[in-house]
Amino acid sequence: MATRTPNRITRALLGPALALGAVVGLSPAPAHAAVWSSCDQWGNTALNGYTLYNNIWGSGAGSQCVWANSGTNWGVWANHPNTGGIKSYPNSKKVINRTITSLGSLSSSYSVTVPSSGAYNTSYDIWDTDYDYEIMLWVNHNGAVGPLGSSQGNVSLGGHTWTVHKGSNGANEVFSFLRTSDSSSGTVNILPILRWIKDTKGWFGNETIGDVQFGYEITSSSGGLDFRTDNLTVSSS
């Protein structure tokens, strides 16, 4: 199981900067009728209440370009070498900025088209506003990738059954929920997962949830692979 390193985009743009070693080669974006595209390492834009990030943060990365028709319909072409270590986490982010107890609901629907080769996971990456805690929800994965930390067993929450892992990367606690079978579309009720961590396990308190990100944590995609988010919605009340 590969050791997971956390998504760096929030820290790179909004928080304390961590050391980054990526040297990024630029390649032309694939042909899409997109309203925005970027091959820049930290390329980003705001669309329809979401923020899109190219987010190439890992060492040994290759080329990657992100395109978007909207904040909820977007994709990425990536050509990262067949080596270990996470190279990137292209994602779409929705800002919540609500405490867990003040939320009446927090849910998301997704529909993706992902390659059958390469090493990656399709995941939500959820952060508190202080970046002390990271909650990952893997809806599918392929190749030699794995979560950080030790297994805490299985739990059924938010409409899915997950294998839970708990660990730390030295900067923050990481709670990873891996769906027990791969899914390319569905709805996740996120709030019960947060309440389970808080109330049932006591792993954190009444945290303020800052960002809900959704994207592709890519380790390798040699030769160039397409990842497409056909639809994504994040809603809260």
Tell me the per-residue pLDDT of 80-119, one tens digit each, with 9 for 90 and over. Answer: 999 999 999 999 999 999 999 999 999 999 999 999 999 9
Identify whether 1 is part of a domain. no
CATH code for the domain in which residue 140 is found: 2.60.120.180
pLDDT of 17 strictly over 60: no
d(CA 128, CA 96): 10
Identify whether 221 is part of a domain. yes
Nearby residues of 19 by Cβ (< 8 Å), 6 or more positions away: none
Identify whether 2 is part of a domain. no
Per the model's pLDDT, the better-predicted residue between 2 and 229 turns out to be 229
In this structure, are residues 78 and 39 in contact, taking their beta carbons and an 8 Å threshold?
no
- The dihedral built from the CA positions of residue 178, 180, 184 and 189, taken in this order, carries a sign that is negative
Identify whether 204 is part of a domain. yes
d(CA 175, CA 164): 7
Q: What is the mean pLDDT of residues 147-160?
A: 97
Identify whether 3 is part of a domain. no
The per-residue pLDDT for 100 is 98
Range of the domain at 225: 9-236
Identify whether 122 is part of a domain. yes
Identify whether 113 is part of a domain. yes
d(CA 104, CA 189): 11
Identify whether 174 is part of a domain. yes
In this structure, are residues 160 and 193 in contact, taking their beta carbons and an 8 Å threshold?
no
Percent of the chain with pLDDT over 70: 86
The per-residue pLDDT for 33 is 64
**Number of domains into which the chain is organized:** 1
Q: What is the mean pLDDT of residues 224-233?
A: 98
